[in-house]
Amino acid sequence: MNKHGVVLYLHVHQPFRLRSYSVFDTAINHNYFDDEKNEQVFKKVADKSYRPMNNLLKRMLEKHPEFKLSLSITGTFLEQAAAWAPDVLDSFKKLVATGRVEIVAETYYHSLAFFYSRDEFERQVKMHQDKIREIFNVDTKVFRNTELSYNNELAKWADDYGFKGILAEGWDPVLEWRSPNCVYKPAGTKNISLLLKNYRLSDDVAFRFSDKNWVDWPLTAHKYNEWVNSSVSDQSIVNLFMDYETFGEHQWIDTGIFDFYEEFIGRWLDNPDNTFYTISDAIEAFEPVAEISMPSTVTWADMERDLSAWTGNSMQQEALRYIYAMEDDIMRTGDMALINEWRDMQTSDNFYYMCTKWFTDGDVHAYFSPYSSPYDAFLYYLNAVRDLRWRLHHDHHTGGLNG
């Protein structure tokens, strides 16, 4: 009989943010990205989150032989870490070198390419796998798509591609009476297993931990450990999936998040029936209990669990349409600098910054963006799109300028 296991999975990402790129830059200045701001943000988050959390994870791996976790790290993050905080990159390498930290595959650019161009999507997954092999010397076996977006088609693709596992949100309308604390098989697939995020227990930490209006605040490790234990009592695993930056950036150090998690790991392992699994371990240990079908896309975002924060308004749809319409012309140039910048612009954060739904709801504080409004974000993006067109036209004599 296998032990009850926590499957801890953390997502690590930083985008290349666009600068305030104006009409007056278009066709003149081809530098779209705010290097200064990006470096500044990266270094800030490195201090607040990456360094202290990797330090904590390293100590936990040394202290508890059963502690394991999984990470997905985007290509854009790895580039930034190499440039601006090599020690952070080294600390991730050391974690992976223990053999108890699994790296999960995804698109290199944290993009929504799956929904707009299958060719480009596959190229980005391949790029990410190559990068992970180059840096960490490991092969990826499990796939997660941007924002944990998932549907049957994606599962089928991942199965055909050769992945052994895939991740998704354990969303009630899909699960109905079923529990997220089991391994499932995606509908219509052969060799791939599906792990579903236990969003209640994940979000207790990721979103609610420091919320003083929450009835369960303050959340102690003791209380949380009891919840996790009772959730998994007659089941196999509990999938705690969240952004890595939960630790130190979304929940600041003074909320006690680091001490809380350290204590939770210890308490969980105090029970000899409990352990931690990487995602591959969990797939190995447990046979799928049933098939799950998700015909429409489900994500881990917002109350809606959809992509509306990225693709919900017409500006976002326009921007996505323009960027992917260029694919053939861009790829034909073989100009790697141009291709990479086009890909950096595909990073989903760019479209998130254009989201207006919080403006409409009056909840402007939920708008997390380097720009003063989604309209500004859209205009800067559009001007950069035009400059890409300019470069195609001017430098490569391909494509029309099209307004």
- Show which residues are catalytic: 147
Question: Which window, 26-34, 86-94, 247-255, 275-283, contacts other proteins (CB under 8 A)?
Answer: 26-34
Quick note: the x/- pattern for other proteins over 270-309, rule CB under 8 A, is ----------------------------------------
CB nearer to other proteins: give 141 or 396: 396
Long-range contacts of 18-23 (CB under 8 A, 24+ apart): 18/345, 18/350, 18/377, 18/380, 18/381, 18/384, 19/380, 20/371, 20/376, 20/380, 21/380, 21/381, 21/383, 21/384, 21/387, 22/379, 22/380, 22/383, 23/383
171/381 Cα distance (integer angstroms): 33
145/122 Cα distance (integer angstroms): 12
196/166 Cα distance (integer angstroms): 9
> Could you give the dihedral angle defined by the CA atoms of residues 183, 184, 186 and 189, in that order, rounded to the nearest 10 degrees?
80
In whole angstroms, the minimum distance from the beta carbon of 237 to other proteins comes to 44
Quick check: bond before 218 cis, omega within 30? yes
Question: Which window, 18-26, 138-146, 184-192, 289-297, contacts other proteins (CB under 8 A)?
Answer: 18-26
In whole angstroms, the minimum distance from the beta carbon of 17 to other proteins comes to 19
57 binds other proteins (CB under 8 A): no
In whole angstroms, the minimum distance from the beta carbon of 34 to other proteins comes to 17
CB nearer to other proteins: give 337 or 401: 401
Output phi, psi for 9, to 5 deg. -135, 125
387 binds other proteins (CB under 8 A): yes
305-364 residues near other proteins, rule: CB under 8 A = 313-315, 317-319, 322, 356
CB nearer to other proteins: give 23 or 337: 23
Query: What residues contact 15, with CB distance under 8 A and at least 6 apart?
Result: 76, 110, 344, 347, 348, 349, 350
Please pick, from the candidates 385, 388, 391, 392, the single residue that binds other proteins as defined by CB under 8 A: 385
202/316 Cα distance (integer angstroms): 29
347/319 Cα distance (integer angstroms): 12
393 binds other proteins (CB under 8 A): yes
Please pick, from the candidates 65, 368, 394, 395, the single residue that binds other proteins as defined by CB under 8 A: 394
30 binds other proteins (CB under 8 A): no
- What letter would DSSP give residue 9? E
22 binds other proteins (CB under 8 A): yes
112-151 residues near other proteins, rule: CB under 8 A = none
Judge contact between 49 and 249, C-beta under 8 A.
Answer: yes
* Exposure class string for 253-279: b at 16+ Cβ within 10 A, else e: eebbbbebbbbbbebbbeeeebbbbbb
Please pick, from the candidates 197, 305, 386, 391, the single residue that binds other proteins as defined by CB under 8 A: 386
In whole angstroms, the minimum distance from the beta carbon of 309 to other proteins comes to 16
In whole angstroms, the minimum distance from the beta carbon of 43 to other proteins comes to 30
CB nearer to other proteins: give 265 or 388: 388
Please pick, from the candidates 48, 327, 390, 396, the single residue that binds other proteins as defined by CB under 8 A: 390
- Interface contacts to other proteins, rule CB under 8 A: 22-24, 26-28, 313-315, 317-319, 322, 356, 373, 375, 378-379, 382, 385-387, 390, 393-394, 400-403
